[in-house]
Chain A
Amino acid sequence: MVLRPKKIIIGFMIAALISLLTVGAVLFYASQTPKLGGDFSALTEKGVWNFSDDPKPLNLLYVGYVKCPDVCPMALSFSAEAFRQLTDKERSQVRLTFVSVDIEHDTAKSVSDYALQFNPKFIGLTGSLKQMDKIMKLIGASYMVEPNPKSYLGYSIAHTDRIFFLNKKGYVLDSLANPRSAESVVQKIKENL
């Protein structure tokens, strides 16, 4: 079969067009900013803490409160175990921040003390209602303080049970709902580093 020059040119043009569209699509998606996340501030026992001051390539964030006896310590325990399973290089590129939304009862010091017992590098934060609301809105989490007069504590806080994975700019790359094993946290870290 002999191809005519006209057909060859059309073939090249179609191939060039497909290539251009493919490259354009790749560049478009690569330049897209994730929809959730951004810089935020809260309080540590040392004072105001800004996410953008010293971000790691990958930043894990979990929202809860220190009187939570169940899902919060579970998420922190499994994260601590996950950090132990990483290589030194991987560990140097990640950090975990625990944000307590119990702004009425938790102090920056109590949250810090609490978080440090799981891993000496974990950061415990709390803050004002405005700061908490901003963080919740940025990452797509939520919480609700619920009176519980029948309980000794008198209240409980319903909150998102999810580890968020933020990049260096604070944008949410990924998340892990209901973390129930160290292995699932390790896998997400490796996928996002």
Chain B
Amino acid sequence: MKHLLLISSILVASQFSFAEANPVIEMTDARIFAPLKGSNATGGYVTLKNITKSPAVIMIRKAKSFKAVEMHETIEKDGRMAMQKVEQLTIAAGQTLELKPGGHHIMLFDATSEIKVGDVIKVDFLINGTEEKFDFKVIDRAAQKTEPSHH
């Protein structure tokens, strides 16, 4: 049993070091809006670039200091804006996907501690089945500016 645990630990550790040594996704502009009083949910955004020559499948697992985290997409349906949960995102080789207001986004629920502007929240993703943590900076929601165009 001890051997099994040891082997599992080595395998997990080697997976992490493999992911670090061979990154699949490059994340930029990762940010989470500081939760607002009156609401138990907030949003997060990031730009994801697949820097490999194969498709990348991305799932979200957990975020430090929040009870739950999910990926969602805002869509227009019957003249109304609706949200639907997205289990995973696939980014083609070399392509970039921007999670931005009005489109794909991250939803975080029920902060377990006070989240302040300037904090950094670690968010766990599964990228092609391998766990990776990324830092998201907490920014002020009420001071949200017009999203810069990347086109």
Contacts and interface: CB of A to CB of B under 8 A. Distances in A.
Interface core residue of B42, B70, B80, B145 (most chain A CB under 10 Å): B80
Contact of A110 (B39, B74, B144): B39
B144 A159 contact: no
> What interface size band does chain B fall in?
35 or more
Interface in A68-117: 68-71, 73-74, 76-78, 80-81, 106, 109-114, 117
A66 B39 contact: yes
A67 B39 contact: yes
B142 to A, nearest CB: 5
Given A66-B39, A158-B82, A159-B80, A78 B146 contact: yes
Interface residues of A, number: 42
Contact of A161 (B39, B81, B142): B81
B68 A70 contact: no
A51 interface: no
Given A111-B38, A152-B68, A70 B146 contact: no
A182 interface: yes
Given A70-B83, A142-B79, A156-B82, A77 B43 contact: no
B80 A114 contact: no
B74 A71 contact: yes
A153 interface: yes
B39 A78 contact: no
Is the contact region of chain A dominated by helix, strand, or loop, or is it mixed?
A: mixed
Nearest to B37: A113
Interface stretch (B14-22, B89-97, B99-107, B115-123): B99-107
Given A67-B41, A69-B41, A70-B105, A77 B144 contact: yes
A160 B41 contact: no
A152 B67 contact: yes
Given A81-B145, A113-B38, A114-B39, 4 more contacts: A73-B141, A151-B70, A152-B70, A158-B78
